[in-house]
Structures are given as structure tokens and as C-alpha cells.
Chain A
Amino acid sequence: MIDLTDAIVLARLQFAFTISFHIIFPATSIGLASFLAFVHWRWLRTGEEIFLTLFDYWIKPFAVVFGMGVVSGLMMSYEFGTNWSVFSDKAGPVIGPLMGYEVMTAFFVEAGFLGVMLFGRDRVGPRLHFFASFMVAAGTLASAFWILSVNSWMQTPAGYSINDAGQFVPEDWFEIVFNPSFPYRLVHMVFAAYLTTALVIAGTGAFHLLRNNENQPVRKMFSMALWFIAVIAPLQILAGDQHGLNTYEHQPAKVAALEGHFKTRSAAPEYLFGWPNMETGEIDYAVSIPYLGSWILTHDFHAEIIGLDQFDRQDWPNVPILFWSFRIMVGLGLLFFCLGLMGLVQRFRGRLYDSRLLAVCALLLGPTGYVALLCGWITTEVGRQPYTIYGLLRTVDSASPVAAPAVATSLIAIVLVYLFIFGLGTVYVLRLLAQMPPNSPAQLSRGLLDQGGRRAVKILKLLKFGRGAR
């Protein structure tokens, strides 16, 4: 099925491998940068030592993850040219400027302020130091904005014309940047990055809580992360649903494949499990809920749902991959929702830090945000096949005229280097997270007394600086 002497297959493998590795790092940087800017701000406002401890604790893994993101991203920006030169020539006039904006408004902002954020505390004032943290966080979000605009344009192209050389030429930049699927994809991805990071922070907190639930910074990070999951997980399900409806409108073949709908029919079922058989056009070993498929896609139990039979066989994406990556993503999303709910329940019972079950669940789910993230991207990217620019430019017509041995050699080199480098990087990050943050003595008081104390500090500060009450 997979021909490893075919340069295009090899180039696709290489892209899938490098981008899957890469996305893990920016997703973590987006979430951690915002988290760090937030605790930095809380520290500046309240002067509470605990926020500084959290900042110092999380900035170390952030620095490692950020470094891995920079170097793996550098590879991506050159890979378009080395392996996908025909695509680059044709799509360059449209996607090139968007990526140019990403470099100018995101990469430089991040790089310029990262040095000050990491090393500058003793060299600049506290406000400028916070400003650096804030700008790094803003840079990661700007990066997400532009690169998702590019990706969305490849999924739902708009605002272009085609010139004599076969290049896509921009006609309306607003339509290009804000193409039909972009707002949905951007929200879905930023939530995913936040949720993934919150799960890592909750998992880290849980790991330490299980050994010592008296450590105040650990309690704080666990509490903050679970609040976050409780709020974002349901919003993410909502955003995913809206994104799905948008996809159904613009890329029905993708939705038909991920739902396993081979035949167009009304009152379509929702398959929970099964194995899509692309030869027979059936779902083998199917377990399904009647009518639910129609309802999810149209919010109407009896609506007709477009199946793959409406499309040429050569225009189908790979059905089993989509079917399963989508189910894993959704299943994990529902588990995250349950974790958020569990956190709320234990919080109101006053057992947030004492419930071992909650801590064990949070620990086990800690790394699974990445699985959901990757499955989501696999769903949308494999679902775009067999095109690079949906409906317009086929993947087989996009690759560079580079010989298969060259692509194969570079693929092997990249796999070896990535596994070694990023494997070790993960070890270092885990080693950092395995250390318990120092417990600051000022935070040893607990409960109401602590709350009251903080409030008193706050009131004193307000009086001192004459700031109005918020």
C-alpha cells in the first residue's frame, strides 16, 4: 500500500513526521507563555511569593520547550522549498506573505523578548520584565493566528485567482486571511493549546500532590489548572462542534470519511466503533446509535447526510485513519470534560487537594492532551487529501523534482536526529517537572486565615499606592 521508493510518499512521510513533532512544542509554548504571563501579572499585582515561585518553576521547562519549538520550526519553514517546491511556487504569492507576517509579528517578538524574560530579571525593572513575558505570550498567539490562516486557506481557499504560470494570485487579502474555516480553526487550536498545557500543569500538580499535599505552590498550580480545564473543556467541545458544522459545509467529503458515511442517506446513525472498509464501502463490526449522526451534523434527526458516494473514488481521503483519529480526539475531549467536572465537585466538597482519585485521574490524563491535539490535526490534514490546496492542487502535483534517494536519506537522518534530540528534551523536561517547587514559608498558613491575610495585604497595598478598588 505504501510505496517507499516513491519520492512523494517519502516527502509526505517526512512532512507528517516533522510537523507532528513540531506542533507539540508550539502548542505547549502557547499555553505556557500565557500561563507564565498570567502568574507574572498576579505576582506584580499582589506581591505574593507563591506566584514568583510558580513563575520560576515553569519558566525552566518553558525555555527547553521553546528552544525545541524554534529549531523544529526552522525545519518546517525550509521544508516547503526542499520537498514541496511546486506547491511553493504556485501557492507562494498567497501563503508566503502570511508566513512573512508570522515571522515579523510573532517570531521576532518572541525571540526579542524571550532573552529579557529568561535572563533579564536583574537587569530590567519589574514592569519591563513583565512586559517581556506579556510580549512573548502575545507573540505565540500572533504566530497561531497567521499559521492557522495559512492552513485554513489551504483547506478552504478564498480571495484568489490563477495566473498564466499556474500560480495562485491574491485578489482580496481580507478574504484570504479570514477564509471560511479560519475563525473556527483558530479558536479550536488556541483552546487545544490551552487545554493541553492545563492538563500538563494539572498532571504535574497531581504527581506532587500524591506525595505531599501540603506544598502550597503545588496546590496553587493544581487548583488553577483544574479551574481552567473546567471552563475550557466544555467550550472546546462547543468550538469543535461549530468547527465540524463548518467543515461539513465546505469539505463534506472529509466529514463523510471521519463519520464513516459511505452512502448518502437520511436519518444517518452515529458510529461509535467499527472498522471502515474502503473496498466494500461498509463499516465492519459497527456499533452505532441510530439518528445521532444526522443530529450531530445538522441538529436534525432526520436530515439527509452526504456520503462518500457523492465523490469520485480518487477524491476520497483515507477513511480508517480519519474515522479513528476523530474518535480518539472526541473521546479524550469528553474525558477532559469529566475531569473538569470532577475537579469542580471536589472543590465544592473542599477535597480538591485530598481526593486521591482526582489526583490519579489528572496524572493519567496529563499527557493525553497531546494525543488529542495530534489526532485533531491528523483528522483535518489527512482529511484534506488528496489535495494540498483543497479541490485545486493535488498532493501528487505539489512535490519537488528531487530524487527519491535524497528524500529517503534526509527522512532517515531527520527521524534519527528528532528521536534523539526531542526524546532527550522530553527527559529533561520531565526531570524538571519531577522536582517539587520550594514551599515558601509565608504560605504555610491555610484556609480562611490565609485568605484573610491575603486580603489584608491587598487592602494595605491599595491604601499605600492609592489605587482605586477594583
Chain B
Amino acid sequence: MDFALIWAFILAVAVFVYVALDGFDLGVGILFPLLRDEEERDTAISAIAPVWDGNETWLVLGGGGLLAAFPLAYSVIFPALYVPLIVMLLALIFRGVAFEYRVHSRKRKWFWDRAFFGGSLMAAFSQGIALGAWLQGIEVTGRAYAGGWWDWVSPFSVATGLAVVCGYALLGAAWINLKTEGPLQKRVETLIRPLAAGTVGFIVAVSAWTPLLDGRYSLRWFAWPTMLYAVPVPILVGLTVLALWRSIETGRAMRAFLCAEALFLLCYIGLGISVWPDIVPTNISIHEAAAPDKSLGFLLVGAVVMVPAILIYTAAAYWIFRGKVRHGGYHH
């Protein structure tokens, strides 16, 4: 059995689940300035308060799992992305505590509302930058990162940063549209199509740009027979956008949300096709970075038992808090 590939798949799933879940709650934060009053902001917070902590735990699984399964990749990628990662973590700290602090603060609720917005925005932006910096390639000598501490800045990484902000805002809008009612829901619904258009614009731009970064990427997309995997992706993106448009017209909030998530999934698959079989583009492959089988096998036993269990009770938690958030939301 090829443990390295199994773990690459598990981590890919974990990172995607993170993006799909924390994406919408970060997106709610990004849309915060568009909410009109205290009541709307409380409602929006209530729509994510019971689940955000679980969503963010997938990020810890991504980081921890990378250390466990691919320690070489972990120790090369993290120093390379030093600045965006630290910024992301500090931003997540601000927005994470804002959930609690805005309830307890007497005079500075406005401050924590802004911290929630700013933290969400910066976290999303730095995740996008980290993605771009990773995709454009990381310099390696021996078993260590060999570049400087500003290598992550480039027009490409800034573009991916903006793309992720726009995409998360789309997910956030689709989530608010699903979880709320009344004027707030009506207003947010009108945002979904412009945000989707923006996201698709970024997808096209980044997709066109990626093959130019490295010869291997263009080979993947424009050479036979790998083209065979690649070609359906843009077609499916087109179909998903159509389905999203339709579901807004017919007022199907759940379907609109799932379409927005499907856009992310397709981009993610496209990304996987581009970088395969590397884990540190374009220098270290999945197999080169893998921990010994004894490490991978030991953790796999736990993953086989725990990951399905986690998915089941996560689903159960979402089920418990299903439906529209009433005014005022949940309290403890």
C-alpha cells in the first residue's frame, strides 16, 4: 500500500474541508461592513458562532498532518511562507477572540466588529498569498528553504490573495443568504451574482497565469494525454456558474451555497492537476517528502477511525443548528 499517496489525499481533503467551511465564516467577516446595524451584525455572527471553531480545527489538522506525514515539506514550506503565515495567524487571533469579546465589551463593541472584519479580511488575503507563493515555486537547497523572507511577494501572489478574498466573500454571502431572512437576506442575495462574477474573473486570470509560471504547469494543461483530465474542469466551472445563476433566480438558497462551494472544489481539483506529483512546487515530490511508513501507518489507523467520526458529528452539529437564525441568535 502506498501510504504517502493515501496521506497526500487525506491532507488534500482536510485542506479542502477547511477552505469550504472556514471560507464561508471568514466570508461573513469580510462582508461585515455591508451590514447596516447592530442587529444585522448579531444575526450574522449567530449564523456562524456554533460552528466556526470546528471549521478552524481543519486548519490545525492541515498543519499538524503536514508535519506528521510530510515533515520535509512542512519544514520547507513554512519558513518560505513565514510572513503570510504569521500575518494569517495574528489575523485569526483577532477575529477568533472577537466572537467572544464583542459580547463582553461595554464601550468598544464597534472596535471588535472592526477587528472581526479586519481579521477575516487579512486571514483570507494571506491565505491567498500563501497559495500563490507556494504555486509559483519555492527555492530549496538540500533539505531546507533557500530563499529570502520576502520571496512570497509577487504580482501573482497578490492576485491569488485577492482571488481568495473575493471567493470567500461569495461563500459568506451564500451562507448569510441561507441562514437569515428578511431585509438582510434580500440585500445579501443581490450580492451573490456580482461576487460570483468576480470570482470567475479571478479563476480565469489565475488559470491563464499559472501555466506561464513554470513549463511543467503548461505541459500539464496543454499536452496530450494529461489534457484529458484537465479539459473537463473549465467546462464544469461554466456549468456550475449557470446553475448558481439559476438558483438565485428561483430563490434556492441551499443550492446556491452548494454551487459556490462547487466552484471552490473545481478550482482545487484544477490546482491538484497543475502541481501533481509535487508537494513543494517544483522541487520536492510527495514521495520524497513523506515520513517513513511506520509513522504514516500509525497515524493512518487513527485517521481511518477518527476522520469519519469527526465528519459525522460535525454534520450532526450542523444539523442541530439547521434552519434560519432567529433574531438575537443563540446565547450562552
A residues neighboring B (CB under 8 Å): 59-60, 63-64, 67-68, 70-75, 77-78, 80-82, 85-86, 88-97, 99-105, 107-108, 110-116, 118-120, 123-124, 163, 165, 167, 169-171, 173, 400-403, 405-406, 410, 413-414, 417, 421, 424-425, 428, 431-432
Category for how many chain B residues contact A: 35 or more
Instruction: Assess whether A400 is in contact with B71, with CB atoms less than 8 Å apart.
Output: no
Contact with A along B182-216 (1 / 0, CB 8 A): 00000000000000000000000000000000000
Specify which chain A residues have a CB less than 8 angstroms from the CB of B61 in the assembled complex: 100, 103-104, 107-108
Q: How distant is the Cα of A82 from the Cα of B68 in the complex, in angstroms?
A: 15
Instruction: Assess whether A88 is in contact with B82, with CB atoms less than 8 Å apart.
Output: no
Return A411 CB to nearest CB of chain B, in Å.
Answer: 10
Specify which chain A residues have a CB less than 8 angstroms from the CB of B34 in the assembled complex: none
> Does B100 have its Cβ within 8 Å of any Cβ on chain A?
yes
Q: How distant is the Cα of A463 from the Cα of B292 in the complex, in angstroms?
A: 60
Specify which chain B residues have a CB less than 8 angstroms from the CB of A67 in the assembled complex: 53, 96-97, 99-100
Q: How distant is the Cα of A105 from the Cα of B313 in the complex, in angstroms?
A: 13
> Does B285 have its Cβ within 8 Å of any Cβ on chain A?
no
Q: How distant is the Cα of A68 from the Cα of B294 in the complex, in angstroms?
A: 35
Specify which chain B residues have a CB less than 8 angstroms from the CB of A170 in the assembled complex: 292, 294-295, 298
**Of A94, A107, A123, which contacts B57 at CB under 8 A?**
A107
Q: How distant is the Cα of A80 from the Cα of B148 in the complex, in angstroms?
A: 19
Return B290 CB to nearest CB of chain A, in Å.
Answer: 9
Q: How distant is the Cα of A110 from the Cα of B317 in the complex, in angstroms?
A: 12
Residue of B nearest to A166 (CB): B143
Instruction: Assess whether B54 is in contact with A88, with CB atoms less than 8 Å apart.
Output: no
Q: Quick one: given A119-B332, A425-B97, are A96 and B64 in contact (CB under 8 Å)?
A: yes
Residue of B nearest to A399 (CB): B79
A interface secondary structure, majority: helix
> Does B36 have its Cβ within 8 Å of any Cβ on chain A?
no
> Does B174 have its Cβ within 8 Å of any Cβ on chain A?
no
Nearest 3 pairs of A and B residues by beta carbon: A92-B71, A81-B78, A96-B68
Specify which chain B residues have a CB less than 8 angstroms from the CB of A112 in the assembled complex: 54, 310, 313-314, 317
Return B249 CB to nearest CB of chain A, in Å.
Answer: 33
Residue of A nearest to B119 (CB): A71
Instruction: Assess whether A77 is in contact with B60, with CB atoms less than 8 Å apart.
Output: yes
Specify which chain B residues have a CB less than 8 angstroms from the CB of A60 in the assembled complex: 332
Q: Quick one: given A107-B57, A115-B51, are A78 and B89 in contact (CB under 8 Å)?
A: yes
Return A394 CB to nearest CB of chain B, in Å.
Answer: 17
Instruction: Assess whether B302 is in contact with A101, with CB atoms less than 8 Å apart.
Output: yes
Instruction: Assess whether A105 is in contact with B54, with CB atoms less than 8 Å apart.
Output: no
Specify which chain B residues have a CB less than 8 angstroms from the CB of A119 in the assembled complex: 49-50, 321, 330-332
Q: How distant is the Cα of A431 from the Cα of B72 in the complex, in angstroms?
A: 46
Instruction: Assess whether B96 is in contact with A115, with CB atoms less than 8 Å apart.
Output: no
Q: Jot down 27 A-B pairs with beta carbons below 8 A, ordered by A.
A: A71-B92, A72-B93, A74-B92, A81-B67, A82-B79, A82-B86, A85-B76, A89-B72, A89-B75, A93-B292, A94-B295, A96-B64, A96-B69, A96-B291, A96-B295, A103-B57, A105-B302, A108-B54, A112-B54, A118-B330, A119-B332, A120-B320, A123-B321, A165-B143, A401-B144, A401-B145, A432-B104
Question: Which residues 89-112 of B sit at the A interface, judged by CB distance below 8 A?
Answer: 89-90, 92-94, 96-97, 99-101, 104-105
Instruction: Assess whether B104 is in contact with A64, with CB atoms less than 8 Å apart.
Output: yes
Q: Besides the contacts A71-B96, A97-B68, what 15 more A-B pairs have beta carbons closer than 8 Å?
A: A67-B96, A68-B97, A82-B85, A85-B78, A88-B78, A89-B143, A92-B68, A93-B68, A96-B67, A97-B302, A105-B302, A123-B320, A173-B294, A400-B78, A400-B145
